[in-house]
Every structure is written in structure tokens, then in C-alpha cells.
Amino acid sequence: MLRIKFNGWFQCRLATDPDPADEKRGVSGMMRVYPGEPDLDRVIHLQSSGFSRSHTPDIGVHVKQIYNENGVISDHFLEGAAVNLLGNPIFKGDNGIVAEDGKEPIVPFILEIKIGQIRLLGNAPSTDSFNKFPFPDLQAQALIYAPGFVACATNIIDSNGYLAARATLLEQDNLLELDEFEKEVNRLRIEFLRSSSASRFFDVYMPYQVPLIGEIYDDENRLGELSNQWSVDMWYGGWDPDGLCGFIEGFLNIG
């Protein structure tokens, strides 16, 4: 038995209510695209997509600890492995058509953990067919308000202060910025960061429990013989609409 703990910041550039789910720029919701930025793509990126805004968290989800029935395994070779979701997954709520807010399924759901030549791949059975609509086993259980829980995981105790500090950094940038276009983008970000909308969902999280069919690719068989009946329990929270990102933490459970 193995339990593989992972966490880090993910990016997801998606439109939010009351914008339609396929809105590309953000009109009425709190997620907006500023001039010069690429369109919203809805994709959940656990590793850097190549685009980010200044003074925002570094994107990257990695393995932190590995446990077996005896507790923590020290210096395990999987520590630091990159964690990813493959196939351009999205939160597929579609404005309540598939699932209500806070319960959106992640579709497709293909979890990968990779370091060097070692690769663990977990595929959710319902990912294979849209006949599984509305993907009940891929939906979040609820939208839960838990500021202490999120604060401990992200190490951000005061979300309002955290975002206000970013606004201050952007104000300092504008004192030296010569490009009027960049100054205006910074001004728009500052205005949003100082609004009540910026931290509205920081202290809530969405828990998921997803069954997986697992495969291990390792020529040296360093993990030994393990069941292919896997599961993952994880949560998404710490929503940062200026950073177009949030925090994820979870466990891959291999029986």
C-alpha cells in the first residue's frame, strides 16, 4: 500500500458566472482577460502553461511525501515528482447544465506522476466515454468554507492582506513603468485586487474522491507489485482570480 501526497499551485483561466462557460475574455464574471493576454481556455494546468501575471504564485504541483502502512517513507525516490492532469481537463459545469457551482466534474480525469523514467498513470473509468454524462464519480462533493484549513495548506493566513500586498507591489511597479499600456493593465489589476471580489472564494475548497485504473511504467520495477485499483482524494481551493490560479492538495492511494 502506498499513499502519495502532492500539493502546489495550479492555473485555470476560466470564465465565471454570470459569463457563459465558453466566454473567451471575461465580461461579467470576476475572471477577466486584460489587453494583450491570451484568451481564456478553461484548462486546468498543474504545471506552468507558459503564461502568468506578475507577483502571482509559481505554478507547479509536486509529490511531497510518501506513506506506507508504517508511516512516512523517508527520502523516497518519488519525492519531487511532477503531478499532472492530462488531456486538457476542465471544470465541466457549463453554468449548471452538467453540475451546480462547486460540484463541477473534472473532465477528462487522467492523473500522471512522473520523475525521470518512472511514470504512474491513473485513468478514471468514466473519462473514457461521454456516455457517463454527467460524470457523477468525477464531481466534487461540495463547496466548503474552511478558512483555517485553506490557510494552513497555503501558508496564507490573511487572504485579504495577501492580495492587498500584491496591489501595493503593482503600485510600486507603476512608479517606474514607462509603458502606458502596461501601467493601465496594472491599474486594472490593482482596482480588482482592492475589491471584495478578489478574495471572495479564497477560503473555500472543493473536495474530490475519484476511482482510478492504474498503470506503472518503470523498467526497474522499483515500486514492486501493486494493485491497479487506485483512487485519488484531493481538494482545490485558495482561489486567486487575479493570479488565475488556486491551490491543490491530495493523495494518490495505491492498494
Numbers of helices and strands, H then E, in the chain: 3, 13
Q: Grid coordinates in use for 34?
A: 486584460
- Which residues, in sequence order, are bridge partners of residue 10? 246
Q: Grid coordinates in use for 111?
A: 492523473
- pLDDT value, residue 97: 86
**Residue 125 — pLDDT band, cuts 50, 70, 90?**
confident
- To the question of pTM greater than 0.75 for the whole model, the response is yes
- pLDDT value, residue 96: 87
Strand 245-254 relative to strand 2-12: parallel, antiparallel, unpaired?
antiparallel
Element (H, E) at 158: none
- Taking only the tens place, the pLDDT of each residue in 17-53 is 899 999 999 999 989 999 999 999 999 999 999 999 9
- Taking only the tens place, the pLDDT of each residue in 194-233 is 999 999 999 999 999 999 999 999 999 999 989 999 999 9
Looking at residue 34, what DSSP letter applies?
Answer: P
**Residue 127 — pLDDT band, cuts 50, 70, 90?**
low
| Upstream peptide bond of 136 is cis (omega within 30 degrees of 0) | no
- pLDDT value, residue 160: 96
Biggest CA-to-CA distance, the chain: 60
3-class DSSP state of 227: coil
Q: Does residue 126 carry a pLDDT above 80?
A: no
Average pLDDT over residues 3-21: 96
CA geometry: angle at 108 spanning 106 and 113, to 5°?
A: 90
Give the chain's end-to-end CA distance (angstroms, integer).
5
- Taking only the tens place, the pLDDT of each residue in 50-76 is 999 999 999 999 999 999 999 999 999
